[in-house]
Homo-oligomer: A and B are copies of this chain.
Amino acid sequence: MKFQEIIQQLGDIAQDNSLITQGGFAPSEAHSSRNPEIEGVAAIDKAVSGQISYIEGGKFTQYLSTTNASALILPQDDTLKAQATARGIAWIATTQPRLVFAKAIALFYHPYRPDVGIHPTAIIDPTAVIGKEVYIGAYAVIQQNVVIGDRVAIHPQVTIYPNVEIGDNTILYSSCTIQERSKIGSNCVIHSGAVIGAEGFGFVPTAEGWYKMEQSGYTVLEDGVEVGCNSAVDRPSVGETRIGRNTKLDNMVQIGHGCQIGSNCAIAGQVGLAGGVTVGNGVLLGGQVGIANQAHIGDGAIVTAQSGVTHKVAPKAIVSGTPAIPHNLYRKGAAIYKRLPEIYQKFKEFNQYLAKLR
C-alpha cells in the first residue's frame, strides 16, 4: 500500500471516528513529496525499508537518526519533522502518534476470526438460546438456559455454566469458563483460561474450622470489558461483582467477590482486589497492585505498580508503595531509603557527640 493511500485511509477513519481529528491528525502536514510503498508496521528500532513506524517521544526519539523505516508517524515536533525530511523519510504528524500507529497496524493486520458456524462437537443444551451468526468451536460446552447474543465467538474448549448470558459480538477464547450467575455484556473479550463467576473466597472462622459461605450473588461484566488470560472475577455471597463499561483487565488479575469497578479503568497484570473493593471510573492500577478488603479507589486515581492500598485513595490521586502514600512523597522516601545506612551512621555520631555535650 502506498504511503499516500495509508494517509487517505487513516483520513477515512478520521471521518468516521472523531479520535483522529481530536488527535490533531492533519494530512496537510504530512511530508508528501515522498510516497514509498509500505508493506508493514514495526517498532522504530526494528523497522526495515518498506515499513511504517512511529515516535511518541522519550527514548525512542534517538532512533530517528538510524531507523530504516520508510515512513513515520511523528508527534507535532518541528525538529523531528525536519530530521525525518532530511533523511528522506515520509511522515505524518499528529498529537497522538501511538493512536494513529494503532490505526495503521489495523490496515495491515486482521486478527484471526473463526468463520461463523457451530462445530459438530460443540455440546449445546436444547434449552440454550443461541443468536445469529455465531461461531461455536470444537468441544465447547454450553449448558442449560444459557443465552448467547448475535455474532458471538466461542472458541474451543470453553465451558459456559447454566443460566449465563453473553451479549452480542463478545469473544470467548479457548478454555475460559463462565460460571453460573454471570452476565457478560456486548463487545467483551474473555481471554484463554480466564474464569468468570466462580465462587468467591468466603469462609467464616468458627471453633470447628472454616464454614463455607455460599456465594449466591451475580457477576456482571458490562459492555466492552476485556479480561486477560487466566484472570478470575469471582461471584459474591450476595449482591453483585460488577466491572464497568470498557474497563480492561490484563492477565492473571484477581477480582474478589463483591468488587464494584467503574468504567474505562485499566488494570494491569497480576493485580489483586480482595472482597468488596470499590473502584471509580478511569482508574489505572499498575502491575501486581493489591487492594485490601472494602478499600475504595476514587475516579481517575493511579496506583503505581506493586503498591498496596489498605483504605482509600482520593480521586485523581497518584499513590505508591505499601501502604500506599502520595507518589511524590513515596519517591522522596525511596531516595532517602538508599541513604539510610549513611544517615544511621551520622545518627550514631550525633548521639555520641550530644552525649559528650550534655
Interfacial residues, chain A to chain B (CB-CB below 8 A): 18-19, 22-23, 41-43, 46, 59, 96, 98-99, 101-102, 105-106, 108-112, 121, 123, 137-139, 141, 155-157, 159, 161-162, 173-175, 177, 179-180, 191-193, 195, 198-199, 201-204, 206-216, 224, 226, 228-232, 234, 237-239, 246, 248, 250-252, 254, 256, 258, 263-264, 266, 268-270, 272, 274, 287-288, 290, 292, 294, 305-306, 308, 321-323, 325, 329, 332-334, 336-341, 343-344, 346-347, 350-351, 353-354, 357-358
Determine the chain B residues whose CB is within 8 A of the CB of A250 once the complex forms.
201, 254
Quick check: A203 and B308 within 8 Å, CB to CB? no
Inter-chain contact A269/B269, CB cutoff 8 Å: no
> How many angstroms between the C-alpha atoms of A177 and B175 in the bound complex?
8
Q: Smallest CB–CB gap between A7 and chain B, Å?
A: 19
A339–B270 alpha-carbon span in the complex (Å): 30
**Contact status A42-B239, CB under 8 Å:** yes
Q: How far is the CB of A358 from chain B (nearest CB, A)?
A: 8
Shortest Cβ distance from residue A161 to the other chain B in the assembled complex, whole angstroms: 6
Copies in the complex: 3
Rounded to whole angstroms, the CA-CA distance of A156 and B146 in the bound complex is: 16
Bound Cα distance A337, B323 (Å): 10
* C-alpha gap A280/B201 in the complex (Å): 21
Taking a contact as CB atoms under 8 Å apart, the answer to whether B207 and A198 are in contact is no
Taking a contact as CB atoms closer than 8 A, the residue among B42, B210, B332 that contacts A238 in the complex is: B42
Q: Which residues of B contact A334 (CB under 8 A)?
A: 323
* Alpha-carbon distance between A248 and B210 when the two chains are bound, in angstroms: 8
Q: How far is the CB of A69 from chain B (nearest CB, A)?
A: 11
**Contact of A269 with B256 at beta-carbon distance under 8 Å, contacts A195-B229, A198-B192 already known:** yes
Contact A305 B290, CB 8 Å, known A159-B156, A251-B254: yes
Contact, CB under 8 Å: B191 / A199: yes
Q: Point out the residues of chain B lying under 8 angstroms from A193, CB to CB.
A: 175, 177, 193, 195, 230, 232
Give the distance to chain B from A190, nearest Cβ to Cβ, in Å: 11
